[in-house]
Each structure stands twice: as structure tokens, then as C-alpha cells.
Structure 1
Amino acid sequence: MLGLLRDIGRAPEQRFILGAHTRAFEELLRDFLGAADVVACGSGTSALGLVLTAMGVGAGDEVVVPAFGCAPLAASVVTAGATPVFADVHPHTMVADPDDAERRITEHTRAVMPAHMFSVMADMPRFARIARRRGVRLIEDSAVAQGAVLDRTPAGLWGEAGVFSFVQVKSFGMPGEGGAVVTRDAAIGRRVRMLRNHGQDGTQRFVHHLVGHNSRFDEIQAAFQTYRFAGLPERLERRAAIADYYTERFSALTGRGVTPPPPGREGRCYYVYSLLAERRDELKRHLLDQGVGCHVYYPLPLPLQSAFAPFTKPGDRWPHAEQASRQTLALPVYPHLTDSQVEYIADAVCGFPRG
């Protein structure tokens, strides 16, 4: 890596963004996925915004998003000038419920944007059928799911466009911000490519074809990610093996108020391994007392957050999203855990006292 830094810093072109390393990284991902285009950009959040803009989503439009998840799901819609409409999630997997999402489609709906959550991909075959039947765009928030495959289709390629995030905590994280738009539609790729760089098409500087953004990718990060890509399958396999062990150990806890995610490898990417625990806060204290790091993702559903409450309707509820916010607890699943550490974590969960 020191050699890469030296080569980039001393290269005659002195190009530190959107140079040869970024192109090579995009081509690597494109060929690996079988996509028409991959466009590296400043973050997974900006990737969502670029896709929405590229599809013409704006004022007067609605976009159906999950009620449980990361803020950019809703914020990217609001920033585009559209209105987020929140769908409830499945009570076990915590991904968007296709039936509830379809129920919320109106004549104003421009797109549906399901998100993969923790270790489980959303039901993309169902969402694809809904999008075709209802005549809406399908955007796939696959920020957490790089490497996951469902029905032989990689995460990111189920919708018209998908996004990845490379922020450090993700399964293909890096030491900085970054993301990518992936698509089977070359026209979407071309439009996103212009939008990420102030609407320029790359043929002539300071000629702007669109009102764009600054969401460019760093050459050092591109070189770093290209260098690390060969080891990604091994790291993903290790995460999956840890998750398999946890789920096997925790399967007996369901009757004790602790529910692991569904078993299996299909449609999975173990970015986060999250339990559902009826006594979540007590379990968290117990684990911290045992020296086990754990984390509560999304302590409030998006529509109950003050930032997004103005976009909701009076009396609307999302009971499964609210339950997930009360019960979800993430355990360590990073690939460098030793077997003894994984066993210790599992022992600590299984040793949680009965209520």
C-alpha cells in the first residue's frame, strides 16, 4: 500500500480524483457483477441521490421506502424534492414488507426503494413484480449487501439501479467515504456519471450538460479497494461462517425471547448480525459486562424521527418497524474474530439469564 501511495503521489498527471485508478476499480466491479456500468461516487448516500436525480424523481413525486433503516433512505428522497412514504417491515427479517409497500403506492408514486437490512436481502423478486405491475421505478438500496446473491442475481442488479457503500463499517469498507451506483442500464450509468461531476461528461472541462453534484471518487481509495478486492470473497465467507455458528447456537433461545436471523446463505451478506431480543437493553448490559461489544442500530423508526415525521400522515403506524427498534441488537461479526472469540460471544449470549 505504501507503494501505491508513492506511485499516485508522484505520477506525472497528479490526478487525485476520477483518474485511472477509479476507472480500473469501476471496471473491476462492473465485470465482476456483470453490470452495464458501475459509477464510483462520494458515498452510498450520494449514490442514492444521484440515482433518484438520474431517474427524474422530484417535486410532486412519492418514493416508498422502509420505515426501519438508515436515514439516507428517506433523506435522499427529501433532498431530491420528493416525499418519502414509509412501508412497514417484516417482523423477523426487518426488511421492507412487499405487501405493505404495494399498499402505499398511489398515483403519485414514482419509485419503490427497498433496502437490504443487516444480513438479509429484501424480497427483490416480489418487488420487481410489483414495480412492473404498478408501473413504478425500482431502486435497490444494496449499500450493506455487496457480495450477496439472490436467485443467482447479485445484490445491486435487481432494480434499475442499485447502490453500494464503502464506508469503513461495511463488508467492503475502506478508510474513508465512498460508494457506487451499479446498473444494467447504460443510459442511467451515463447520466449518473455526469451528475457526480457537476454535470460534465468528461470530454471537456467546464461544459455542464446537467445541474450536477460533487460526488467524486478518490484515486488513493480506488487503488486501495482494487488492491483489497481479491480478498473480499474470503472475508465474506468468514463472516458467513461466524453467522452460521451464531444462528446454530442461538436457535434454542427463541423460546427465551431471543430470536436469531433466519438460517442459510441464500440472499445473505453478513454486514451486521442482529438478534431480536424482548429484553434488549438487559441483554446489552449483560454482554457489555462480559466484555462483548454490541450495538443498537436505529433506535427509532424513520417516520418517528423528528426529521421525517412531517412527511407522515396522522394516525399511521409501523408496528413491526417499532418492534425492531425496541428489540434489535447487533453482535460482532467482523472477519478477523478468532474462533475462540466467536465462541466466547456466543457463550455470553446463551448465558443471558432467563427473565
Structure 2
Amino acid sequence: MSIPLLDLKAQYLTIKEEIDQAILDVLDSSVYILGPQMKALEKEIAAYCGTQEAVAVANGTDALVLTLKAFGIGPGDEVITTPFTFFASAETIAQVGATPVFVDIDPITLNMDLTQLEDKITSKTKAIIPVHIFGQMLDVERVMEIAARHDLKVIEDAAQAIGAEYRGKKAGSIGHAATFSFFPTKNLGAYGDAGMIVTNDKDLASQLRMLRFHGCKTKYYHEEIGYNSRLDEIQAAILRVKLRYLDGWNQGRREKAKLYDELLSNTGIQIPGRDPQALPIYHLYVLRTEERSALMERLKSGGVANAIYYPVPLHLQKAFQALGYKMGDFPVTEKACEQALAIPCYPELSLEQQHQIANIIKG
């Protein structure tokens, strides 16, 4: 029996009636853009994250771009982030004309190594984008303390971490702003692209709403050059249904991860490291092993899907060649890219399937 990395069909079937009705309600309303479903979702996400404001946008990448633009970041500025993340975390910095500056990662959590952060701050630094990789929050309060000393903005890239916590505070609730992706494979996933920005800054939220709609507060009256980045009503309606189940799904992932931890202990394969003060949501359950190719082949032969996250660190991507980084500049990241492998971990995964996967891994 083949086991997918993620089974979106199985999830859909558990909530099919509610999803189908939500879509039909939007079709009956004939309101598809900037409507009541989007506005309700914004309020619900803000309440969930514990922020004053939430601004819905077309996708998680736009969420970062618009936030950087709203903070006035552009050519000549530097923004610090991690090289071990999806490309968008740094791509968006370049898209607004600023320069990405990388900090290596912690060997246990794979999040940004905060002991190295302050050394990368220069007179050109304007913001820090810490990434909560694979659904485990890092210590944003510590980042905020460092940022305060240098008058920097902090934008949490929480694309993989909605519902994750650190010392009881949810991802997105600590930085000056935070961005989420609702790409279909995320723990809270739309049935298409979708994104959100949360903040406690009402003026920033107002600026973001203007930027997402061609730079205008009133239709046809454009105050600045903006974007077309609006979350459509059908996706908002779907996300509102799924948000009600998110905490339960995240708990289900934690239970699957705990079982994997037990089944794979003493195997010589490194299970995901965890900060004891963090409550992760296991967007991905990522193993690390020096024998990754052999493990991938065993899993493939056993019908178990798996995926590398990430094969090439950002500082070695061709698109960032002009930044002048080279192999060896971020050794912990480079090692992680050589060893990391994600295996199936989602609420609908059965105990039988988990044992099957673990037995294959054990060889």
C-alpha cells in the first residue's frame, strides 16, 4: 500500500459537507472578491493569533513583499534571514530591491542561530525575517530585544507555523508583523493560493490594505503604486471552515510525531530536534541522516513518499550568485541540506502506516 507525503483527499472527506456548503454559499452570493467571507476570515485569524489586525492577501509570498514595502524597505537596505528555508523568504527581500543577509541555523532546531544574529547587523540593516521552520517557533522575543537595540523591524515568516507556540504565545503574535501562507499543503491550507499578514499596528494594516488593492483606499483613487493581491471569497470560505479544525489537526500531527520519535529512537537516524519551550505543529517531520540516498530508495521501494527539504541552501542558489556567498559560509545549513528528509506526518495517517514506515526506515 502506497503512502503519500500528505493526503489532502483524506482530509477533505472528513469535512466534505461543510466545505461544499461553504463554496455553494459563495456561489449563491455572487460576491467573489473583497467580500464578507474574507473580512470574517481576517477577524478570525487575528483572534486566533492574538493580534489586533489581519490582512488577507493572494499568497504567502505577497504577504512578505507587501509587508516589506509597507515598512518602507527598498534599495540600499539589508534584511537578515536564514538560508535554510523556502526561496520566498529571501526572494521577497530582493523583489523590493533590498539585499538578503543570511545567518546560519541552530543544529538542533534548524531555526536561525540567534547567537550569530547581532553580528550580521550593519548600518544598512532595516529588518529581520526569522523563519519558524517546519512549524517550530523560535524565540521571537529574543529577536525583538536585539531588534530594539538597533531600531529594526521584525517580520515573522510563519508560513509553516500557524498555531505553533513559544512560551505560550502563538506564532505571529510577537513580531511587528507576521506572514502566513495557506498554500494547499500547509497545516491550514486553501484549495489554491492564499496568504495573510497579522499585526498589532493599525496604521500598518491600513497601509497593507491599500497596497493589496492597487494603492487605493477608494476605488479609482490611487495614492501610491500598489499590487493586485486579494484573497478571493471561495478560498476565504474554505479557510474559515478549516480554521475550526486546525488545533485538532495540529494536535494530531504532534501525536504522530511523538510516535515516530519513539519508533525511531536508537536507529542512528536523527529525529527532529525541539526547543523545550516551543510547541511545534510539525508542518513537516524531517529526519536527518548521512545515508539519505539509501533511505530514500528504501522508502520508495516500500511505497512511501518522501521529500528533501531543502536540496540547495539559499546562499548557493544561482539567483543569489551576485551576493558572493560560497560553499562553507554556512556549514550547519549546508549539512542540513545534505541530510534532511521529510516523511509522511499528518492526522489521517494510521498507526499501521506509521509502523510500516518506521520498519522500512529501520531496514
In structure 2, the partner of 1:293 is 305
Listed as ranges, the matches of 1:46-65 within 5 Å are 46-65=62-81
State how far apart, in whole Å, the 1-side matches of 2:115 and 2:321 are: 22
Structure 2 CA distance for partners of 1:126 and 1:265, relative to 1, 3 Å? closer
Aligned to 2:8: none
What stretches of structure 1 move > 4 A for 4+ residues in a row?
313-316
Query: Is the counterpart of residue 322 in structure 1 residue 334 in structure 2?
Result: yes
2:354 aligned residue (326, 338, 342): 342
Structure 1 range deviating more: 32-41 or 318-327: 32-41
Q: Which amino acid aligns with 1:334?
A: Y
In the alignment, does 2:245 pair up with 1:234?
no
Answer yes or no: is the 8 Å Cα contact 1:199–1:212 preserved in 2. Answer: yes
Structure 1 match to 2:320? 308
Match of 1:101 among 117, 126, 145: 117
Cα distance in 2 between the residues matched to 1:42 and 1:174: 11
Q: Quick one: which of 256, 260, 263 aligns to 2:271?
A: 260
- Kindly indicate whether the alpha-carbon contact (under 8 Å) linking 1:85 and 1:312 is maintained by their aligned counterparts in 2: no
Separation in 1, partners of 2:192, 2:337: 28
Q: Give the corresponding residue for 1:247.
A: 261
Contact kept? 1:74, 1:308, Cα under 8 Å: no
Whichever residue aligns with residue 342 of structure 2, its letter is A
Matched, 1:218 2:218: no
Q: Distance in 1 between matches of 2:128 and 2:334?
A: 21
Q: Secondary structure at the match of 1:180?
A: strand
The TM-score, its normalising length taken from structure 2, stands at: 0.91
Deviations along 1:81-132, one digit per CA (max 9) or x if unpaired, are 1000111111222111112222111110001111011142223232122111
Pairing of 1:181-200 with structure 2 (within 5 A): 181-200=197-216
Amino acid at match of 1:234: G
SS at match of 1:10: helix
Q: Is the CA contact 1:240–1:265 (under 8 Å) kept in the aligned structure 2? A: no
Partner of 1:98, secondary structure, is coil
- The yes-or-no answer on 1:207 pairing with 2:225 is no
**3-state DSSP of counterpart to 1:169:** coil
SS in structure 2 of the partner of residue 295 of structure 1: coil
How many corresponding residue pairs? 344
1:83 and 2:99 equivalent? yes
In structure 1, how many angstroms separate the alpha carbons of the residues matched to 2:173 and 2:247?
18
**Structure 2 partner of 1:2:** 20
Aligned: 1:29 with 2:45: yes
1:45-83 residue CA offsets vs partner (Å, 9 max, x unmatched): 100001100100001000011011110011100001100
Structure 2 distance, partners of 1:5, 1:158, is: 33
Q: Which structure 1 segments of 5+ residues have no match? A: none
Which range moves more in the overlay, 18-27 or 307-316? 307-316
Structure 2: where are the runs of 5+ without partners?
1-18
Q: Distance in 1 between matches of 2:321 and 2:311?
A: 15
* One of 160, 173, 181 as aligned partner of 2:189: 173
Q: Report SS of the residue matched to 1:122.
A: coil
Name the structure 2 match of 1:284. 296
Report the CA distance shift for 1:315/1:278 in structure 2 as closer, same or farther (over 3 A).
closer
d(CA) in 2 for partners of 1:179 and 1:74? 17
The range that moved more, 266-275 or 62-71, is: 266-275
CA distance in 2 between counterparts of 1:7 and 1:139 reads 35
Q: What is the root-mean-square deviation of aligned Cα atoms in Å?
A: 1.5
TM-score scaled by structure 1?
A: 0.93
Identity of aligned residues (%): 36
For the pair 1:136 / 2:152, whether they are aligned, the reply is yes
Q: Is the 8 A contact 2:135 2:164 kept in 1?
A: no
In the aligned structure 2, how far is the partner of 1:242 from the partner of 1:144? 17
